[in-house]
Structure 1
Amino acid sequence: MDAEIYSPFSITTTPYKTVNSQPIPLYVLLPKNLPAGPAPILIHIHGGFLFAGNALYPDWSTSWSRRYNLEHNAIRISANYRLAPEATGLEILSDIRDLLTWVENDLSGYLKSIGSQVTPDVGKVLVYGESAGGYLAIQAGLMRPDLVKAVIASYPMTYIDSPWYAEPGDKHPFGIPTLDKKEILDKYLASMDRGKIVTESDPYARLPLAIAALQNGLFPDILGRGDEVYPARVLAKMSGTEKVPFLFAMHGTEDSAVPVEETRKFTQAWEEKFGKGSVVAEFKEGEHGFDGQVEYEAPWLQNGLNGVTKAWIR
């Protein structure tokens, strides 16, 4: 929370739910020049393959997203959630659902309790996430389209039942060599306290768990196989007449961690289901996390954000 990049914000924290007597926190970031009165809401969900990370990890906070946040005087909510393998996919999704409910019902009272004169406008909710957070942002939009007006999904995990996640293979995200499943994942699972939840970590401390699961095709085994866990299945079951948020997706074409082809496929399916104008998808040269160095004024970024702004605020 002391990272310099967050200096334009005043940050407080509170739990939004408790599981097994363990609180799950979120952070409320108020721009320091935010005027009294109603303000739109930007909910940020962090990445980490669903196995790692935390809400305010500074290296995963892009400058363009903070600038966009400040430009629109938005309340930023950055939340932790239960992590795999301690949590299943349905348990993680239940945290996202409860986070949205907290924002809808409890954020206003919380702001009053800390002496803020800012009031959240729950008619203007945007959800943004990268990688696993992009997956959860999409899921948030599909589960609560009545609340979520727009979604930004950066290099999102979408087809988590595809061979990339569900079959053993020669996969080397970021050039990481093949890891010893027995020494890393099996040993961890054998010693894991089933009654304990994990809601945050140093990203790199738990990343080997995710890579071992990926290389051995174990994501469906760990997350579960129910249709609700897989956004492409949720999308396929929809009629196309439902109200959905506007979707802005971006992906680096050299991504070694999350297949860019799957984002192309998912956004095409979204457009086919809900029509032109329901989604903007941008594919640019770069690795996973390519947008960390993107200039805010980049025309392709502004093209997507203009669609987000229209759906979110205007």
Structure 2
Amino acid sequence: MSILINESTRLVVQGITGRDGYFHAMKMKAYGTNVVAGTSPGKGGTDVDNIPVFNTMYEAVDQTGANTSAIFVPPAFAADAIMEAADAGIGLIICITEGIPTLDAIKAYSFVQQKGAVLIGPNSPGLISPGRSMVGIMPSRIFTKGSVGVISRSGTLTYEVVSHLTAKGLGQSTAIGIGGDKIVGLRYRELLEMFEKDRETQSIVLIGEIGGCAEERAAEFIRWQITKPVVVFIAGQFAPPDKQMGHAGAIISSGMGTAAEKIAAFEAAGVMVAREPCMIPKLIVETQLKRIRV
């Protein structure tokens, strides 16, 4: 099993005729993802490498049965693209676009919730269930099928951590980048619950960073609701206060959101925290051994 995407995923790429949309559509198709359609207003009726292109999401869903979308359109139009996908009946929307205005993101997120769809991102690298499907911009060669679920706010840290896991023979069930913006769709809590219910996932890696309180809320949720071993890494341990570091959400202000506070919250919940990414595989094995002994 895996969460969110698998062999039954039918993907439409919004913005498929743009530079980034085309490049990553080809990467996803080459990986084995079932890319059934693309959209690009004004270019309906054409195709990209035998992938049919439609003017609207409504046409794409109606004619191909698409159930998932990946968004590669410019920031000014991305919120509309999210809402159009949800309105057309897409159940899972992955927004790769970054730099979407905050008020636009709030409007789109609210609309997606009203439609009962699921949003990952904005500013997300996407997700991958190794050997089954990949949606986004993940470097698929570093992933391998296994039982470790990965949730991260950082794309590049996801890749670093996964490369360490794979090198130590610890494959992944699904790896997800939730996005680094202040407003995003799925967060740690919802994904932790999905991994808890997934029979294939035996342990979970959570990669957080400074800013906000999402990690502290995740720690509390893990304390009471998660039975599987969890290992955490928090980036930004030496970041200065009141200065944005990378992602829009990675800013410490008013004495909240520091790495130290997040680490303390996880440790108080009994979660093992890695001080460096390279330590994660060792801690995963230790948590699994402890579970066996118990």
Q: TM-score, normalised by structure 1?
A: 0.35
Q: TM-score, normalised by structure 2?
A: 0.37
